[in-house]
Structure 1
């Protein structure tokens, strides 16, 4: 039931404005909102992950004007309930850290994002199914010490974001069997001429039979056999053997 005031207002509008104009104005407002909903809808919603640091990323919609804010939810695969990510509820950034919401690395997850501008809400846009276990791992940390015609390497697996009983971050070797691949570059030769000089699980590696007073560089990558996946290479470590 309309109130007396609303009824009077409607009567006045019909009296002074043609009905077809009122319908046009109403429809223009509805379709305008629908157009804006599509223009501000977030695009390319996807997880980025490295060493179980899991972040949801997206791109802004096609609308380039207006103050747009974003709202993020997540859920476990197979569940029906979406949960709000409180720290990413009404934000201007185009990413949201969901590391602590995705700690079961064998589980699968979804994330979704919607945007709001000028009181208009877009539809949700949902990521593909995400499983931390199958995502990227980083290279090891590398410490290099020059020796007599040789180089000594100390390798340490990358760290996860999760803490152990003593408070330190747990290394990725707790989750996977890792293999290290060590590449040697002789700087007197073509930089692209890299030689695989070691592949194994040792944390301490010695590379011998090197020429003194020649500059060498080392790059190391992590390989995960169970996933048949390699990390990016570590930053170069260069030195001259003694």
Structure 2
């Protein structure tokens, strides 16, 4: 049997090194894919806009940290969000960065774990004015003998006037209020629409003394066909 020549040994070593390199590259690609953030999307309520994501398939990687960038649609340069650079949370507040509510934005997130960096995961386009959810109004109830007077207060945005007060959502939208009354002698789900309009003070008459009534309300944006969740219940018993 002939011995292995030096040239054959060198060739074998090169082939082995190439194979090891290929394996390492493939392992790195697998790890990058396993930690890549998923389902990157904006959530927004009254223009309080946050970017959310889910961890990659390697959920057990507790040392994973995330990096967030954003940009306006059409721009070529992404901006770092300093407060969300190297964080372990799965949410990043971009309210201030999306304050031009008519502009469309993108957000993106990448992850790193054990020295491996994933590719970026990009959100869908997000336009605050079109996509933010409107919160319900605040309801104050004042009752008399056979009537209830309601005072409705529109939800506030996070943005402020020069005086420091928060700007109401009525500044940005033509809002309607929908008011529902619940007679507690009936089924809890039996809500009756008693008012729809723009008035901030509403009087509901013809109610029965001694009966417990609860009020809930919604805001509605006709132009976008957006409706808020119900407000918290305000209940009273007429004397």
* TM-score of Structure 1 vs Structure 2, range by shorter chain: over 0.9
Q: Quote the residue 1:182 is aligned against.
A: 179
CA distance in 2, matches of 1:57, 1:147: 47
Q: Quote the residue 1:198 is aligned against.
A: 195
Q: CA deviation at 1:22?
A: 2.0
1:239 matched to 2:236? The reply is: yes
Q: CA deviation at 1:82?
A: 0.5
Structure 2: unaligned runs, 5 residues or longer: 1-8
1:167 matched to 2:170? The reply is: no
Residue 113 of structure 2: which of 112, 117, 123 is its match?
Answer: 117
CA distance in 1, matches of 2:151, 2:108: 42
Question: What's the TM-score once normalised by structure 1's chain length?
Answer: 0.92
How many residues in Structure 1 have an aligned counterpart in Structure 2? Answer: 230
Q: 1:143-158, aligned counterparts within 5 Å?
A: 143-158=140-155
CA distance in 1, matches of 2:59, 2:140: 47
Structure 1: unaligned runs, 5 residues or longer: 1-13
Q: Quote the residue 1:96 is aligned against.
A: 92
Q: CA deviation at 1:119?
A: 1.0
CA distance in 2, matches of 1:182, 1:33: 57
Q: CA deviation at 1:23?
A: 2.1
Residue 210 of structure 1: which of 191, 204, 207 is its match?
Answer: 207
Q: CA deviation at 1:149?
A: 1.0
CA distance in 1, matches of 2:21, 2:175: 63
Q: Quote the residue 1:63 is aligned against.
A: 58
Q: 1:69-80, aligned counterparts within 5 Å?
A: 69-80=65-76
Q: Quote the residue 2:80 is aligned against.
A: 84
Q: Secondary structure at the match of 1:62?
A: coil
Q: CA deviation at 1:28?
A: 1.3
Q: CA deviation at 1:19?
A: 3.3
Q: CA deviation at 1:65?
A: 2.9
Q: Secondary structure at the match of 1:31?
A: helix
Question: What's the TM-score once normalised by structure 2's chain length?
Answer: 0.93
Q: Quote the residue 2:20 is aligned against.
A: 25
CA distance in 2, matches of 1:229, 1:188: 31
Residue 37 of structure 1: which of 5, 8, 32 is its match?
Answer: 32
RMSD between aligned residues: 1.5
Q: CA deviation at 1:20?
A: 3.1
Q: Quote the residue 2:102 is aligned against.
A: 106
CA displacement 1:112-153 (0-9 Å, x = unmatched): 000011111100000000000012100001111121111111
CA distance in 1, matches of 2:77, 2:93: 19
CA displacement 1:171-210 (0-9 Å, x = unmatched): 0011111100000110101112111001111111111110
Residue 138 of structure 1: which of 125, 135, 139 is its match?
Answer: 135
